[in-house]
């Protein structure tokens, strides 16, 4: 049985859209969070809600003041956060950072050693670049349709290709 071009394109698209961010980019960019979508305006005017960020893994010792880092914020129940480093220190063999959202009035809470908001193990990487507006689609799908929308999309695509195959006499 010869596969129709639509099925080949669907599989190719799935591999590109699904596998690249999950498997290829983490290896290439040396981080488990290679892409991040900005959900708030805490880093405006530098980074805006809806921007897609490309994140690269970085040696914690090489991160300096003014670097924009992506980290799991203990002070926000482990949510992924993008803020700027305003100070850095090393104590007992660990590197700590004090961070702040550029648009926020106050820096992040100092929960470590009374001086820092983030410890090196919470950092996923440094923002390498931003792609304006690209993240809005992902925000729209997650906020208004929820994760179930993505789960519904795959069966709908499969059904549409089955219909296409049926019309061509393959079923």
Catalytic residues: 42, 83, 108
Nearest to 72 by CA among 21, 122, 12, 13: 122
Q: What is the DSSP letter of 19?
A: I
Q: Tokens in use for 17?
A: 């859209």
Q: Tokens in use for 78?
A: 């482990």
For residues 38 and 138, is the Cβ–Cβ distance under 8 A? no
Report H helices in 2-146: 5-14, 25-29, 136-140
Containing 93, the helix (H) or strand (E) segment is: none
| C-alpha 24 chain-centroid distance | 14
Q: Tokens in use for 107?
A: 């820096």
Pairing of strands 35-37, 94-100: unpaired
């Amino acid at each position: 049985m010869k596969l129709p071009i639509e099925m080949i394109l669907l599989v190719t698209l799935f591999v590109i859209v699904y596998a690249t961010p999950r498997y290829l980019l983490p290896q290439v960019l040396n981080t488990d969070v290679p892409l991040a979508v900005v959900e708030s305006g805490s880093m405006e005017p530098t980074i805006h809600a809806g921007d897609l960020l490309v994140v690269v893994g970085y040696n914690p010792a090489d991160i300096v003041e003014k670097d924009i880092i992506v980290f799991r914020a203990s002070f926000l129940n482990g949510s992924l956060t993008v803020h700027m480093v305003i100070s850095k220190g090393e104590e007992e063999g660990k590197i700590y950072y004090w961070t702040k959202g550029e648009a926020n009035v106050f820096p992040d809470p100092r929960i470590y050693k009374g001086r820092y908001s983030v410890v090196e193990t919470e950092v996923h990487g440094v923002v390498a670049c931003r792609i304006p507006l690209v993240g809005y689609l992902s925000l729209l799908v997650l906020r208004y349709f929820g994760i179930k929308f993505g789960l519904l999309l795959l069966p709908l695509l499969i059904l549409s290709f089955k219909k296409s195959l049926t019309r061509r006499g393959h079923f």
